[in-house]
A and B are shown apart, each in its own frame.
Chain A
Amino acid sequence: MNDYIVEVSGVSFRYDRRNVLEQIDLKIPRAAFLGIVGPNGSGKSTLLKLILGLLKPLEGEIRLFGTPINKFKDWSRIGFVSQKANSFNTGYPATVFEVVASGLTKKTGLFRFLGNEAKKEVLDAIRSVGMEGYVHQNIGELSGGQQQRVFIARAIASKPEILILDEPTVGVDQRHVQSFYEMLERLNKQLGITLILVTHDIGAISNRVTHVACLNKHLYFHGDREAFEKLDDKKLSSWYHHDIRLLSHEHG
């Protein structure tokens, strides 16, 4: 039995007549921290939507935990964090606790209520993202970075084995971006959660991820971080279709 959590084989996708992804093959091992990088419009978010079952591939197959995606039912094993800071309704009257508790909806099941054990799990998730001081605060009163931490807590409340993040730092204050990535690294190393992070900022994550995938309609590169660091800027530039130089961000 292999230990790949996600297997994407020969997947292509098109919006109307525009090809967005062509023949993508990607295998993500358990406990990896994969950064999917590529320029705007390269199909990164579309690939995530395909993995999450929100879109159906035109051709190819996706397997989650060894099961074909159309037969996969156990969605509580997968957590998802979208670009919420951009689209979030800040006027929504929900507390941090309520938002994080909503992450247990599927796991709890229809017509059932959250028990004491579930409430403890919610508080644990809030604690693990360092938001325990804001449990009863309305989500709209928090900063963009704090809101994203809350959405991560919601995603990990059901103790997923894999956490998928789509440009989670969009709209987050730059001062808080590095501490945000630090928290992700901790979730990966300490809790063993497999992370798939989509970003257009390669430099911000290059020192934290274990694997990198470079996407621009085709999958140009997929390998571990060491192999990625050996790539020269010319090659990256040809994939991005413009000049690019890899700069790792400073962080302590």
Chain B
Amino acid sequence: MITALLHYQFLQNTFLTGIMIGIIAPLIGSFIVVRRLSLIADALSHVTLSGIAVSLFLSSKLPVLSGLNPLYIGTGFSVLGSVLIERLRVVYRYYQDLAIPIIMSGGIGIGLIFISLAGGYNVDLMNYLFGSVSAVSRTDLWLILAISIAVAAVIILLYKELFLLSFDEEYAKVSGIPAKTIHLVFMVLIALVISAAMRIVGIMLVSALITLPVAASIRISRGFKQTILFSVLFGEISVMGGLVSAFYLDLPPGGTIVLISILILLMAIYIKRLRTGIRFSKKKV
């Protein structure tokens, strides 16, 4: 594996990208899960799919765009989707969760139409859907690096505000922080993370990498910073373990990464039960 990593650029691209998304996906996921917005990641990943499909269609029909990286249009659609979700949440003030199925079904609908127009399912599209060990190009790597740095920097700089907004939205508004702007920035960050992570884990499973490590971490951590720390640790273990097993077993990494995440989640649930049991029996004594 080490020899292959040293020799093949595509493997280097994949593992470097894996390290980055193993950090940023659970990082943003920590804020998404505690705000009970987990389904937003699903909706945006399907919007990204429509962007990828549009891009594949354009490159198949217009020779001048044949070299266009689908990640660009996918990222653009994802960001646009995040802004639209926000607009819909304002329009449907009393039914804010409606924004998610509207955007998700819209994303799938547009995606299906353009996939069909582009000539149906092919290997490239399957790689986008379920991830691939060999699909990350150097251009993808640079784009994902730029996204990762931007996402991590904004989260670190706005940590206080994002924490307050996720913990108590009403108090955040009363305290005078620009809650609406920060929420919009947060939504755009989610969109960027999704488009960065989909190359490795795939559109269908990207929300799993955002939520599962956090779901495991919440069971055993004390405090929000520790939740983020454990989430990133679990995310890295899942991505690295998933990529290595996908490489050796010739499987799509999306599936292996998610299975390892679920394994970690089950272990965290078991550890929590064990701890609670020990505490309970100590009290009884």
Contact = CB atoms under 8 A, between A and B. Distances in A.
A108 B167 contact: no
Contact of B224 (A52, A78, A98): A98
B63 interface: no
A247 interface: no
A15 interface: no
B164 A105 contact: yes
Interface size class of B (residues with CB under 8 A): 20 to 34
A104 B176 CA distance: 11
Interface string B223-253: 1111100000000000000000000000000
B160 A114 contact: yes
Interface in B135-172: 157-158, 160-161, 163-164, 167-168, 170-172
Contact of B161 (A78, A105, A154): A105
Contact of B174 (A54, A89, A137): A54
A91 B218 contact: yes
B39 interface: no
B223 A138 contact: yes
Interface in B189-231: 217-218, 221-227
B167 A92 contact: yes
B175 A54 contact: no
A178 interface: no
Nearest to B223: A95
B176 A93 contact: no
- For chain A, which range describes its interface: under 10, 10 to 19, 20 to 34, or 35 or more residues? 35 or more
B177 interface: yes
Interface string A98-125: 1101111110101101100000000000
B29 to A, nearest CB: 13
A48 to B, nearest CB: 10
Nearest to A93: B227
Interface string B68-108: 00000000000000000000000000000000000000000
A138 B222 contact: yes
Contact of B176 (A98, A106, A137): A106
B34 A82 contact: no
29 contacts: A52-B174, A54-B170, A75-B175, A76-B175, A76-B176, A80-B171, A80-B174, A82-B170, A82-B171, A91-B218, A93-B34, A93-B221, A97-B223, A102-B164, A102-B168, A102-B171, A105-B160, A105-B163, A105-B175, A105-B177, A106-B175, A106-B177, A108-B160, A110-B157, A111-B157, A113-B160, A136-B222, A138-B222, A138-B223
Closest 5 CB pairs of A and B: A75-B176, A95-B223, A93-B227, A102-B164, A106-B175
Interface of B: 34, 36, 157-158, 160-161, 163-164, 167-168, 170-177, 217-218, 221-227
Given A54-B174, A94-B223, A113-B160, 9 more contacts: A75-B174, A82-B170, A89-B36, A93-B222, A93-B223, A94-B167, A94-B224, A95-B223, A105-B163
